[in-house]
Chains A and B, each alone.
Chain A
Amino acid sequence: EPEVTQTPSHQVTQMGQEVILRCVPISNHLYFYWYRQILGQKVEFLVSFYNNEISEKSEIFDDQFSVERPDGSNFTLKIRSTKLEDSAMYFCASSEVADEQYFGPGTRLTVT
């Protein structure tokens, strides 16, 4: 069964550093998403991406964040200058149509 994969599973970085979180969505999917879950809190929407552009973003997704689909398979989330409060589990999701999203296992980002 096809699945969404994410790398790395755990990333530790120092405050102010740039990080790139990588995702490989399911191959025939057209919609791509990033969510985050701060420890003990609910899952929050960050951004959706369709047809090579951002279709919607949340208030959390400020200028420090960017997304890219550099080739036909990867979907990346970049945080330009990490803050302590960026520490969270980041989930990538993809869907064929905008009604059923498949989630990856997540990347745990720890900012020290």
Chain B
Amino acid sequence: AQSVTQLDSQVPVFEEAPVELRCNYSSSVSVYLFWYVQYPNQGLQLLLKYLSGSTLVKGINGFEAEFNKSQTSFHLRKPSVHISDTAEYFCAVSDRPGNTGKLIFGQGTTLQVKP
């Protein structure tokens, strides 16, 4: 069965500092990988996705993530965060095409950007 582990429940960081949110997954099959962001009292918004091809994926709001198959990781990075990046971030995995597209989510990481 697939699972996703987000290693940090909370990440405090100062504005304009770099940040990395960690995500590891386990799966016996090839997967798609996603990062979603949830701002307070809102739904989930897709930040970026890895389907195939280049292992470095760029998303919205200056975020990027790197797929590392050997380490089964998909860490999210941003070189300089803003106050507005304060939110909950979820890593998710789904099986490759041909299935239902069900997403398995990690526990989430709260990014707290301080002035």
Q: Which of B90, B102, B107, B108 contacts A56 (CB 8 A)?
A: B102
Interface presence of B13 (CB below 8 A) = no
Q: Collect the chain B residues with CB atoms within 8 Å of residue A50's CB.
A: 100
Is B99's CB under 8 angstroms from A98's CB? yes
Interface SS, A side: strand
Band of interface residues on A: 20 to 34
Interface residues of B (CB under 8 A from A): 32, 34, 36, 42-46, 49, 51, 90, 92, 94, 97, 99-108
The 6 closest A-B pairs by CB, nearest first: A98-B101, A103-B44, A48-B100, A56-B100, A105-B43, A43-B105
- 28 example contacts (A-B, Cβ-Cβ < 8 A) are as follows A4-B43, A31-B100, A33-B101, A33-B102, A42-B107, A42-B108, A43-B92, A43-B105, A43-B108, A44-B105, A45-B103, A48-B101, A48-B102, A55-B100, A91-B43, A97-B97, A97-B101, A99-B32, A99-B49, A99-B94, A99-B97, A100-B49, A101-B103, A103-B36, A103-B44, A104-B43, A105-B42, A106-B43
